[in-house]
């Protein structure tokens, strides 16, 4: 992900200063520990402004309304308490070549500025700081103690100071070609490195753009550049400075990032809209990867623990199988009491059933009857252990099946499905597998309970429409496929109608599939086959050639009392062999 550089900040602040000033601050919402949303009301409309001090994606731009979720952060609450109702009167950089944005607030547009909300865009040192009219820090997104930084601590109550000024030369359109080239050629290094180290405002992404415009290899040493190459690079340099001077930018994707500078003068785009799309996609992918890894690790750890517990219970059940042997030995001893002699440590007796000789160990301190009673006690203990372990083993195996189901749903998600991944997080949090953090408060509605209300005849089944996969059969019937257990329960118990068909890979973790049929319609074999193919594709057996898929009507699908989300039983099923590899899904 490409960080926002000075060029981007110049373009963004220029657009925002024209579009949002003046505006009344009405709401403040912090969606995570790096992102703040401000709702502004101008004379024409309401709009949202996003401020981010993310280490890789610090930025400021307009955005859609934030998701409706509880705000548990004190930073946003303090800003709302102090600045709500004030007018935003300026959005500008504190200096032409510094990456510090100053949002200024006053009681009215013509009054003196009472509050400054500074956004410092400086990579991993990015920060957002609220400062009053006296220059005192009221609150900061990230407090920096004197132990962390002797140069510039940031603490509530301290006087705010701007970051230390940069030492590089300031680019200037009036600078001559010779002076510019002499500065860059002074130290014989690669041209991309000299561009970065000699002038302010030049980022690695801007350097790539300038070199691409000039058609130059960035790894080429400055001493090896020809006069023609220097002239091409200077021309690209002048194009960039002209864009800065006239505030005319041309946002477009370029390689692994984007650029706002172009040698082909075309239609100018809105940098705010472009950055909102770019960073939303990039931060969404990062959030998906981090959350996916967190959930995967939690499931992996829990599966490992449950597997160990299952093996322990199985081993104890094997031991309990020896209960009949203890009883048989006790019976033999009671039948042959006359053969026992004082001090015997073992006795060989003939088995009643097999006729073979059995060696029975004895406690020499006990008589034959007491040894027999000891074996009877062991028999009873093992029987009680078997009765106690059986339900525990069943519970562990059900939990293993549930987590394998979640793991399968997790493995089938794409990077664009962040909201579905968040539903899985909500489910696991409510089930106690993940801890509730300050950044995340799960939905208050219980997911599993929402599915158990299927018997309420007077409740509209279409109240909640899941964001599931949707496909169409050759005859035009819809196929709905759940992306996670929450959606599986919804389509199976809230959405499914009496004419629909329900499908699932047989005894294999996977998604619930619903073949939607209108009243009186009959699914042909090709429709059933396509639905079975999707049920097989969205299961753990995706890589198999053929997968057994059960098909039944929704009224024969049940959720046992106390069952976890997505776990069901079914009856009256028939088997269709799904062929997941026959599908071509983009």
Same domain, 135 and 184: no
Domain that holds residue 519: 456-582
**Looking at the domain assignment, is residue 283 inside a domain?**
no
Q: Are residues 493 and 559 in the same domain?
A: yes
Cα separation, 91 vs 200, in Å, equals 21
Pairing of strands 569-570, 557-558: antiparallel
The CA distance from 101 to 222, in Å, is 34
Helix (H, G, I), strand (E, B) or coil at 356: coil
How is residue 511 annotated by DSSP?
A: -
The rounded distance, in Å, linking the Cα atoms of 169 and 555 is: 75
Do 51 and 35 meet the contact criterion of CB atoms below 8 Å apart?
A: yes
Distances in Å between the alpha carbon of 143 and those of 35, 83, 338?
A: 16, 20, 88
What six digits make up the tokens of 238? 């002048």
Asked if residue 136 and residue 13 are part of one domain, the reply reads yes
Q: How far apart are CA 577 and CA 528, in angstroms?
A: 10
Q: Are residues 111 and 209 in the same domain?
A: no
The answer to the question of residue 463 being in a domain is yes
Residue 164 maps to a domain: no
Structure tokens at 568: 């069901």
Last residue of a domain, one of 119, 140, 161: 140
Rounded CA separation 493/455 (Å): 9
Who contacts 440 (Cβ-Cβ below 8 Å, separation ≥6)?
A: 425, 429
CB atoms within 10 A of CB 566: 28
Q: Which residues of the chain have pLDDT under 50?
A: 438-439, 441-463
Q: How many domains does the chain have?
A: 3
- Could you tell me if 109 and 182 lie in one domain? no
Phi-psi bin for 98: left (phi > 0), alpha (psi -120 to 50), beta? beta
Does one domain contain both 466 and 561? yes
Whole-model pTM: value is 0.71
Bond into 22 cis (ω within 30): yes
Check which CATH number belongs to the domain holding 215 and give it.
Answer: 1.10.8.50
Domain assignment present for 112: yes
Q: Where is the domain boundary, 239, 269, 299?
A: 269
> Taking the mean position of all CA atoms in its chain, how far away is CA 120?
27
Q: Identify the CATH number of the domain in which residue 21 sits.
A: 2.30.310.10
Tell me, yes or no, whether 130 and 45 share the same domain: yes
In this structure, are 127 and 208 located in the same domain? no
The answer to whether position 215 is within a domain reads yes
Query: 31-88, pLDDT tens digit by residue?
Result: 889 999 999 999 888 999 999 999 989 999 999 999 888 888 999 999 999 999 999 9
CA distance linking residue 72 with residue 41, whole number of Å: 24
Nearest Cα residue to 102 out of 121, 78, 86, 85: 121
Q: Facing residues of 62 across strands?
A: 49
For Cα atoms 400, 438, 418, give the angle at the middle one, nearest 5 degrees. 60
| Per-residue CA distances from 485 to 410, 446, 513, 549, 566 (Å) | 10, 13, 12, 18, 4
Query: 119 and 197, same structural domain?
Result: no
- Tell me: do 30 and 110 sit in the same domain: yes
Q: What is the per-residue pLDDT for 339? A: 86
Contact call for residues 307 and 400 (beta carbons, < 8 A):
yes
- 416 falls within a domain: no
294 in a structural domain: no
The whole-angstrom separation of Cα 561 and Cα 563 is: 6
Domain endpoint, select from 240, 269, 298: 269
Same domain assignment for residues 134 and 183: no
Say whether both 575 and 500 belong to one domain: yes
Report the pLDDT value the prediction gives residue 368, as an integer from 0 to 100: 87
User: Does any domain span residue 406?
Assistant: no
């Amino acid at each position: 992900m490409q960080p926002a550089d000075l060029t981007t900040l110049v373009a963004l602040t220029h657009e925002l200063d024209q579009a949002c000033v003046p505006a009344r601050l009405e709401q403040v919402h912090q969606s995570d520990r790096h992102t703040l949303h401000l709702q502004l009301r101008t004379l024409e409309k309401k709009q949202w402004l996003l401020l981010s001090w993310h280490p890789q994606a610090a930025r400021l731009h307009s955005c859609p309304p934030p998701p409706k979720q509880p705000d548990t952060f004190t930073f946003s609450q303090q800003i709302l308490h102090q600045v709500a109702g004030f007018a935003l009167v300026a959005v500008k950089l504190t200096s032409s070549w510094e990456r510090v944005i100053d949002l200024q607030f006053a009681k009215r547009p013509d009054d003196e500025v009472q509050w400054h909300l500074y956004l410092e865009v400086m990579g991993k040192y990015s920060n957002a700081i609220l400062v009053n009219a006296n220059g005192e820090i009221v609150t900061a997104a990230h407090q920096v103690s004197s132990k962390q930084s002797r140069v510039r601590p940031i603490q509530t109550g301290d006087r705010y100071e701007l970051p230390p000024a940069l030492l590089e030369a300031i680019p200037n359109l009036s600078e001559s070609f010779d002076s510019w080239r002499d500065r860059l050629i002074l130290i014989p290094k690669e041209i991309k490195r000299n561009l970065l180290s000699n002038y302010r405002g030049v980022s690695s992404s801007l350097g790539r753009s300038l070199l691409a415009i000039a058609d130059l290899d960035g790894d080429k040493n400055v001493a090896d550049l020809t006069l023609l190459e220097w002239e091409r690079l200077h021309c690209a340099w002048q194009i960039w400075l002209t864009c800065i001077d006239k505030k005319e930018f041309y946002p477009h994707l370029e390689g692994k990032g984007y650029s706002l500078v172009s040698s082909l003068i075309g239609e100018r785009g809105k940098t705010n809209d472009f950055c909102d799309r770019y960073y939303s996609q990039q931060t969404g992918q990062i959030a998906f990867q981090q959350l996916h890894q967190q959930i995967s690790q939690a499931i992996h750890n829990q599966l490992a623990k449950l597997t160990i517990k299952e093996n322990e219970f199985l081993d104890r059940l094997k031991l309990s199988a020896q209960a009949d042997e203890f009883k048989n030995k006790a019976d033999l001893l009671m039948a042959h009491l006359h053969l026992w002699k004082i001090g015997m440590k073992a006795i060989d007796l003939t088995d009643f059933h097999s006729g073979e000789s059995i060696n029975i160990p004895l406690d020499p301190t006990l008589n034959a009857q007491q040894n027999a009673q000891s074996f009877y006690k062991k028999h009873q203990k093992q029987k009680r252990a078997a009765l106690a372990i059986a339900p525990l083993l069943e519970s562990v195996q059900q939990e293993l099946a549930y987590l394998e189901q979640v793991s399968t749903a997790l493995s089938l998600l794409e990077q664009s499905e962040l909201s579905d991944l968040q539903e899985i997080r909500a489910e696991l949090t409510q089930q106690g597998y993940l801890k509730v953090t300050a950044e995340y408060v799960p939905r208050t509605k219980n997911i599993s309970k929402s599915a158990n209300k299927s018997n309420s005849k007077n409740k509209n089944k279409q109240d909640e429409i899941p964001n599931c996969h949707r496909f169409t059969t050759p005859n035009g019937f819809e196929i709905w496929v759940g992306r996670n257990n929450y959606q599986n329960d919804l389509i199976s118990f809230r959405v499914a109608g009496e004419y629909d068909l329900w499908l699932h890979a047989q005894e294999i973790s996977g998604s619930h599939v619903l073949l939607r049929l209108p009243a009186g319609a009959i699914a042909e074999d090709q429709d059933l086959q396509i639905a079975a193919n999707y049920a097989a594709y969205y299961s753990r057996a995706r890589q198999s050639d053929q997968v057994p898929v059960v098909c039944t009507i929704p009224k024969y699908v049940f959720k046992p009392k106390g069952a976890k989300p997505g776990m069901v039983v079914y009856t009256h099923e028939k088997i269709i062999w799904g062929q997941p590899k026959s599908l071509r899904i983009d």
